[in-house]
Structure 1
Amino acid sequence: MRSLPARLLTTTALVASVFTSSPLHAQRAPSGQPVGPVDPRRSQTQKPPLHGKHWMAITGKPLGATAGAMMFQKGGNAVDAAAAMLAATCTMWDTLHCGGETQALVYHPKLKKVIGINALGVAPTGATADYYRSKGYANPPEFGPLAAVTPGTPGGLMVMLAEYGTLSLRDVLGPAIQMADGFAIEAQLANTIERQKTWIKQWKYAPAIMLPHLGSEREAPEPGEIFVQKDLAATFRKLVATEQAALKAGKSRKQAIMAAYDRFYKGDIAAELVRGMREDGGLFTMADLANWKVKIEEPMCTNYKGIDVCKLQQWQQGPVMLQALNILEHADLKAMEYNSPKYVHTVYQAMNLAFADRDFYYGDPAFAPEEPMTGLLSKAYAKARFNGIDWTKNDPSIKPGDPYPFQGGTNPFTQYLAQWDNKKFLPRDTTKQSGQQDRPVRADTTLGDPFTAQLRESFHGGTTSIEAADSAGWVVSITPSGGWVPAVIAGRTGIGLSQRAQSFVTRPEDGPFNVIEPGKRPRVTLTPTMALKNGEPFLAFAVQGGDTQDQNLLQFFLNMVEFGMTVQQAVEAPNINSYQLRNSFGFHETQPGLMEIATSMPEASRAALRAMGYTLRPLERTSGPINAIWFDRKHRTMWGGSSNHGEDHGIAW
């Protein structure tokens, strides 16, 4: 086993393939409570790290990772592998399906730059704020046809493959076609379908696919049963047939892939998708699909202690991590000690400040007015926010700041800023609102509550993050999502539609840059990450988990950079999660002072945090299902970290 650079702490327990019953071991009193701080650097990890010389493929399902490995074995690059993993995990409903959205960062080794892929769908024709309010919705619903934005994942996959891949669409969709023809379904998905069958039965085309035992006591597939999606397989085969016909007609590889793209968004697939979706009560038109385009963008980056951290633009929440890093740059985190009460309080407050700005200022940059990102990401603004932290207690009234003076401008929304009131979004006691087809996130802090357990499972039981890298220098980080169970299936396409419209608001006082309009992208939580050191890839990482994504990624990054953890230690290490933000789902609730902590946190630390005004919700795992690749420049190898939350899996060579 090769040694790590001196800046990282190495343990023989980590590099051995040792599995333990718990990822972290603390000294314990007879009561079972930890009596000392838990340090992941001195503990065994549940999963061993991956090591690779030639390539690495990591995603949320073992079969998905296998699809990526198959592309590498064909001679493909990391983009080919990532696209194959994306298609394969779509067939597995790994908290996404093909009608969802894809967000990606690609490191191009020849250009030596990070490239952003924006394949998020948009609100369809007729999807106005007045329309939703006329239907009795405070905001777009959580489930159903009116929660859908236009499908983005097929376009994102094909554009990424055409621009930066090397293999054909036939190669890349090959594993997904085999899986759509039938794969042995895992218990996690099978049981989720069974739990959500009441929703599934509300729509015309979903039950035939998702509930093969309709009328029986268990209507969902059984774990291990062959799960078949004939319509989806047929859609994939149509795309491949179009590509192959274009190649035979003398078109280039890129032109042939884009011919398949046109068939999906302008041809017979689009027509059936629109027909079936409208039959279930949705709003899409053919023009909505034809006019939608994948955007290739410049990412946003900040430098943290010599490391450039890059995110996608403000149509997703990624810059919130950059803001938090800029704020935390002014604190001596290492001196505070990992997960000490002072460190936890500092991170919690920094996250709350950044998320308050997200809630107010982030939105689709294609729509006026322009978001004040220069001010939000300025180091001076971060210092001003840092100076406002109360070091003695939690501040439940944290509001968005005003970044406009830090970019030489004037805030056009001062009236909404003055009216900003988090009390309006405190958790409700009801589980249903008139006309609203969704459930709120309850502020229940008891571990035994079944709804809390279900919510956590839906957020963290599987993952939709995809990481791939190869020895030629290509690196890909993707956080795809949308079309999770339960999803409307659009006619005979087999395509499960997104539910992402729920992330919009309908009133400017609730976020003036994120009010729903036709053709607009919602501000989503999906946030891949790329970090460079001396101009070369240092880390590629992503996680699933809604609003907690950039919280977990922030702490993962700090675990490595500030505390010297290895990548596997860092993905398993306990985090804290704040819900003192406006939830991007359901009723957009906020829960000031609520903090998720690991059960391994010592009682003395808990008491200190409670004394500072925090309400604690202990959970066994709090890091989120993070997947990551660290680049060992000394040895020119790759280290992979894959979470111990769900079924995340990696393969390397």
Structure 2
Amino acid sequence: MPRLLPTLLATALLALSLSTTASAADRITGHPFATRSEVHAPHAMAATSHPLATQIALDTMKAGGSAVDAAIAANAALGLMEPTGNGIGGDLFAIIWDPKTKRLYGYDGSGRSPRSLTLAEFQRRGLTDIPSHGPLPVTVPGTVDGWFALHGRFGRRTMADNLAPTIRYAREGHPVHEVIAYYWDRSVPRLGKWPGFTEQFTIQGRAPRTGETWRNPNLANTLQAISDGGRDAFYKGDIARVIGDYFAANDGFLAYEDLASHTGNWVEPVSTSYRGVELWELPPSGQGIAALQILNLLEPYDLKSYGFGSPEHVHLFVEAKKLAFADRARWYADPEFHPAPVAKLISKDYARERGALISMDTALREVQPGTPRQLDEGDTIYLTTADADGMMVSLIQSNYRGMGSGMAPPGLGFILQDRGEQFVLQEGHPNSFAPGKRPFHTIIPAFATKDGEPWLAFGVMGGAMQPQGHAQILINMLDFGMNLQEAGDAPRIQHDGSTEPTGQNTAMTDGGEVDLETGFPYETVRALMQKGHSVRFSHGPYGGYQAIMKNPYGGWTGASESRKDGQAAGY
């Protein structure tokens, strides 16, 4: 223990030094800390959470592929290289800017619950919440369907070309990166008991180490089958039969018929304006519109004059988040079962009405959802690509809870998601479990436009942090003048403890907890506590960020998350 003291002392001194200032002396801009400069390129750009996936995306566009081809190729690679956050056993959402039609397209690639599983079955088992792992939280994986839907409208290369780099890496191997190795090691003890996981996702029972070569020949075979047979090879062929047989043999309910009947949906993105920029999100069942609600609530305040990291900045952000998330718990669900009054929720009038609840002096301890009248109207990967023709893709994909359910059908090389944990085992709740229903979704891509023109494709991974992160990126850029990389690297705020759409937590009655990443001044922490906030230190819940911005001088600007293994690069 004594030998650890110098290290602990150095760590404490570093934390103290960072907590007294939001800037780093070695940055020539003088703005809040950034780990590196923005990346600029004239033709194309990719930003992903793994350098090899970024290179695959660039190679795809150099070979004539569109930004959508590049996004698919990178997503396939991330499923192999970063199985701690995604894979073809999960769901996918995307927003695409098409330069030909000069408009945005949204895709909801989420899957539904097994049709043979009922609320009564959970009650028969004596469950009050859906388990986090194992066969019961598994829903239909929508990613492969999403790839083919996006490719069918915007792809230029063949799907075989898009999948070929990952198939090769899966057979020949690739070195595992540091952050991925860390989360993989944490997952093995939790998921090793589920059939197929240890055999396919460990090296003799342990996670691969940083720099160690990882191969997944089973996934290579699965991707080759999809490459040869198309979408139906996954949803209606032998892969679907193996999945159905596997769950039938392991106390599960996901069946061949559930996969065979799956379809994703093209949806219209929705937006609000903030400081002259339009932020676009996908409507529920995802949580994207919470970011729009947060920005609407904050727009009346002069955050710039308060300054980044000031007590006013943090307090107002947290209070706006509380109000938005109260509505999130009440209204966000599968619209086929529980349509939300989206237009009202994201309106400026509604924000003014709800904003009256914010006090500059006192933290809200309890927040009820609003009652808008209907008008006529946790781990993940995020990646973004942009090509020489001006197409931009904002794509997010996840297995939920890192590596998902732990259920890995034999010989297929991937794990099924556990997104169904987000359902509520309570009749009458908007997110109550029902057969063939989509659960509440946390994963959300974002896009921003200026004067009707594309400006920014970006995302921030990480459960409930995602809409909070989306709002913070725009606030950092538009209120505090940060560049694209600085906006992602600046210390983040996360509020935790709001009433959840999943019903798994009791309603917020104590104001929740404010997590502040290292870099906020102690004076801010003290002022927040005086307003009634509970402030704590939490290591790691602040999400992961990638972004591509249209450079006003031509070409692209990229940024990547310093908290992960990612890379932004272009040519």
Give the TM-score of the pair, scaled to structure 2: 0.91
CA contact (8 A) 2:115 2:435 kept: yes
Q: CA RMSD in A?
A: 2.4
Aligned equivalent of 1:269:
239
Q: CA deviation at 1:300?
A: 1.2
Change (3 A) 1:344 1:329: same
CA contact (8 A) 1:573 1:623 kept: no
Given residue 70 of structure 1, which amino acid in structure 2 is its aligned partner?
Answer: D
Aligned equivalent of 2:518:
599
Take 1:650 and 1:167, find their aligned partners in 2: how far apart are those partners?
A: 22
Q: CA deviation at 1:186?
A: 2.8
Take 2:90 and 2:15, find their aligned partners in 1: how far apart are those partners?
A: 49
Matching of residue 234 in structure 1 with residue 225 in structure 2: no
Change (3 A) 1:583 1:76: same
**Deviation readout 1:299-326 (Å, 9 max, x if unpaired):** 1111223322111111100011111111
Given residue 375 of structure 2, which amino acid in structure 1 is its aligned partner?
Answer: Q
Aligned equivalent of 2:102:
112
Take 2:142 and 2:517, find their aligned partners in 1: how far apart are those partners?
A: 36
Take 1:29 and 1:542, find their aligned partners in 2: how far apart are those partners?
A: 29
Q: CA deviation at 1:360?
A: 0.8
Gaps of 5+ in 1: 1-27, 243-259, 410-457
Matching of residue 139 in structure 1 with residue 129 in structure 2: yes
Take 2:529 and 2:271, find their aligned partners in 1: how far apart are those partners?
A: 35
CA contact (8 A) 1:192 1:485 kept: no
Q: CA deviation at 1:38?
A: 4.6
Aligned equivalent of 1:20:
none
SS in structure 2 opposite 1:651?
strand
Take 2:430 and 2:53, find their aligned partners in 1: how far apart are those partners?
A: 36
Matching of residue 198 in structure 1 with residue 198 in structure 2: no
CA contact (8 A) 1:41 1:569 kept: no
- Equivalent pairs counted in the alignment come to 549
CA contact (8 A) 2:32 2:490 kept: no
SS in structure 2 opposite 1:479?
strand
Q: CA deviation at 1:392?
A: 1.4
CA contact (8 A) 2:236 2:260 kept: yes
Matching of residue 552 in structure 1 with residue 469 in structure 2: yes
Aligned equivalent of 2:5:
none
Take 2:156 and 2:129, find their aligned partners in 1: how far apart are those partners?
A: 42
Change (3 A) 1:618 1:176: same
CA contact (8 A) 1:396 1:580 kept: no
SS in structure 2 opposite 1:241?
helix
Take 1:625 and 1:550, find their aligned partners in 2: how far apart are those partners?
A: 12
Matching of residue 343 in structure 1 with residue 313 in structure 2: yes
Change (3 A) 1:491 1:184: same
Change (3 A) 1:58 1:162: same
- 1:53-132 correspondence to structure 2 within 5 Å: 53-92=42-81, 93-132=83-122
**Deviation readout 1:390-443 (Å, 9 max, x if unpaired):** 221111111111111x7389xxxxxxxxxxxxxxxxxxxxxxxxxxxxxxxxxx
**Worse overlay, 479-488 or 50-59:** 479-488
Q: Of residues 239, 264, 283 in structure 2, which corresponds to 1:313?
A: 283
Q: Of residues 475, 484, 497 in structure 1, which corresponds to 2:416?
A: 497
- 1:398-413 correspondence to structure 2 within 5 Å: 398-404=367-373, 407=375
Q: CA deviation at 1:191?
A: 4.1
Q: CA deviation at 1:70?
A: 1.5
CA contact (8 A) 1:547 1:583 kept: no
Change (3 A) 1:577 1:204: same
Aligned equivalent of 1:213:
204
Q: Of residues 564, 568, 571 in structure 2, which corresponds to 1:650?
A: 568
SS in structure 2 opposite 1:407?
coil
CA contact (8 A) 1:203 1:280 kept: no
Aligned equivalent of 1:641:
559
Q: Of residues 490, 497, 515 in structure 1, which corresponds to 2:432?
A: 515
SS in structure 2 opposite 1:563?
coil
CA contact (8 A) 1:465 1:542 kept: yes
Take 2:158 and 2:192, find their aligned partners in 1: how far apart are those partners?
A: 37
Take 1:191 and 1:597, find their aligned partners in 2: how far apart are those partners?
A: 23
Take 2:424 and 2:440, find their aligned partners in 1: how far apart are those partners?
A: 10
Given residue 289 of structure 1, which amino acid in structure 2 is its aligned partner?
Answer: L
Given residue 472 of structure 2, which amino acid in structure 1 is its aligned partner?
Answer: Q
Take 1:157 and 1:551, find their aligned partners in 2: how far apart are those partners?
A: 27
CA contact (8 A) 2:22 2:491 kept: no
Q: Of residues 525, 531, 535 in structure 2, which corresponds to 1:612?
A: 531
Q: CA deviation at 1:121?
A: 1.0
CA contact (8 A) 2:117 2:253 kept: yes
Matching of residue 376 in structure 1 with residue 345 in structure 2: yes
Take 1:550 and 1:274, find their aligned partners in 2: how far apart are those partners?
A: 35
Aligned equivalent of 2:4:
none
Q: CA deviation at 1:94?
A: 4.2
**Deviation readout 1:37-93 (Å, 9 max, x if unpaired):** 658853552122111110001111111111111101211111111010110001120
SS in structure 1 opposite 2:40?
strand
Q: Of residues 453, 456, 461 in structure 2, which corresponds to 1:539?
A: 456
Report sequence identity in percent: 30
Take 1:394 and 1:187, find their aligned partners in 2: how far apart are those partners?
A: 39
Change (3 A) 1:84 1:594: same
Q: CA deviation at 1:124?
A: 0.7
Aligned equivalent of 1:393:
362
CA contact (8 A) 2:69 2:162 kept: yes
Change (3 A) 1:166 1:515: same
CA contact (8 A) 2:328 2:501 kept: no
SS in structure 2 opposite 1:491?
coil
Q: CA deviation at 1:125?
A: 1.6
Q: CA deviation at 1:277?
A: 2.8
Q: CA deviation at 1:327?
A: 1.4
CA contact (8 A) 1:394 1:593 kept: no
Aligned equivalent of 1:166:
156
Q: CA deviation at 1:224?
A: 2.8
Q: CA deviation at 1:389?
A: 1.2
Matching of residue 331 in structure 1 with residue 301 in structure 2: yes
Take 2:144 and 2:159, find their aligned partners in 1: how far apart are those partners?
A: 11
Change (3 A) 1:586 1:626: farther
Given residue 638 of structure 1, which amino acid in structure 2 is its aligned partner?
Answer: W
- 1:477-488 correspondence to structure 2 within 5 Å: 477-482=394-399, 484-485=402-403, 487-488=406-407
Aligned equivalent of 1:247:
none
Aligned equivalent of 1:22:
none
Take 2:502 and 2:134, find their aligned partners in 1: how far apart are those partners?
A: 14
Q: Of residues 390, 403, 407 in structure 2, which corresponds to 1:473?
A: 390
Q: CA deviation at 1:617?
A: 1.8
Gaps of 5+ in 2: 1-12
Take 2:19 and 2:197, find their aligned partners in 1: how far apart are those partners?
A: 48
Take 2:359 and 2:372, find their aligned partners in 1: how far apart are those partners?
A: 20
Given residue 297 of structure 2, which amino acid in structure 1 is its aligned partner?
Answer: I
CA contact (8 A) 1:64 1:88 kept: yes
Change (3 A) 1:76 1:481: same
Q: CA deviation at 1:200?
A: 3.0
CA contact (8 A) 1:310 1:529 kept: yes
Take 1:174 and 1:156, find their aligned partners in 2: how far apart are those partners?
A: 18
Aligned equivalent of 2:447:
530
Q: CA deviation at 1:294?
A: 1.5
Aligned equivalent of 2:138:
148
